[in-house]
Amino acid sequence: MPIPEPQRGFLEQIVSHLKKDDRLLGVAIGGSYLRGEMDEYSDLDLIIVVNDAYYQRILNERQLFASQLGSLLVAFTGEHVGEPRLLICLYENPLLHVDLKFLLLQDFTIARIEDPIVLWEQKDLLTLAIKDNPRYYPPLDLQWIEDRFWVWIHYIAAKLGRGELFEAIDALSFIRGQVLAPLAKIQAGKLSRGVRNLETELPHLLPDFCQTMSIQHDHHEIAKAVQHSIYLYRQFRDALKTPALIVHSSAEIASTQYLQAVVDGKK
């Protein structure tokens, strides 16, 4: 699969270096490379599989390990995304974002949402692990969303009423990324990857999604964005819901009435 410069040259440099490290079992690449979407702005998502005997030491020395792969500017671990085994790196010459995830071979076989491409390995270990353990992308849980959505709407309405408009704007962004975009993508038969590539995957919905944004620190504009978010949620929910879905009608009525009262200045 073609890789643009400067990623291609840097990747070749990294793989050439890692092949010489006998503590490693293999290297694989995921992310946009798998989908054929890499361009000059893409980062590199690399998985480094380590021999059990050396894993803890390499994990403890990740910064040093990463610094040996190129001109490392800064790096930090991925606890904020729930992945402490991840090291997020910024290199220069060329300036590139590179994610390095350090795994044991048994970790490589479980809880994968994609099948990475093996760049180098010992004795087909990674290839066999992928073959024997297919990827599993967890389905979107519509009930989980419905159980929470109207509480989130009440929260935004309360922030509007209090005048905490930046909080309301942030909450709208959360709902767009965690609720509306995933539901829209599932309805279109795509993976529920938040707002990523929304512009290219669902261009016909862009006018609707733009109405869920408020670019102004303005009570009225934010309220309109919340109301359109509710409209879109109802559309997606009703199109996708199954008989098993428990719709919280009372919470829906109470939260939307509360929002309207805030909009009308009664709260």
Beta bridge partners of 92: 71
User: Token digits for 93?
Assistant: 């010459």
Which domains are delineated in the chain?
7-132 (3.30.460.10), 142-263 (1.20.120.330)
How far is the C-alpha of 51 from the C-alpha of 103, rounded, in Å? 9
Beta bridge partners of 83: 78
How far is the C-alpha of 58 from the C-alpha of 22, rounded, in Å? 12
How far is the C-alpha of 108 from the C-alpha of 149, rounded, in Å? 34
Q: Which residues contact 92 (CB under 8 A, 6 or more apart)?
A: 71, 73
How far is the C-alpha of 6 from the C-alpha of 231, rounded, in Å? 44
**pLDDT on residue 34:** 83
How far is the C-alpha of 181 from the C-alpha of 196, rounded, in Å? 9
Axis-axis angle for helices 165-175, 219-240 (nearest 10): 20
| pLDDT per residue of the chain (267 residues) written in tens, 0 to 9 | 678 888 999 999 999 999 999 999 999 999 888 888 888 899 999 999 999 999 999 999 999 999 999 999 999 999 998 899 999 999 999 999 999 999 999 988 776 778 899 999 999 999 998 888 777 778 899 999 999 999 999 999 999 999 999 999 999 999 999 999 999 999 999 988 899 899 999 999 999 999 999 988 999 999 999 999 999 999 999 999 889 999 999 999 999 999 999 999 865
**pLDDT on residue 205:** 96
**Do 47 and 101 touch, CB atoms closer than 8 A?**
yes
DSSP letter (8 states) at residue 92: E
CA count, 13 A, side-chain hemisphere, 43: 11
CB burial of 103-129 (b: ≥16 within 10 Å; e: otherwise) equals: bbbebbeeebeeebebbebeeeebeeb
How far is the C-alpha of 124 from the C-alpha of 101, rounded, in Å? 19
**Do 61 and 41 touch, CB atoms closer than 8 A?**
no
* CA 112 to mean position of chain CA atoms: 14
How far is the C-alpha of 249 from the C-alpha of 257, rounded, in Å? 12
CA angle (91, 92, 97) in 5-degree steps: 40
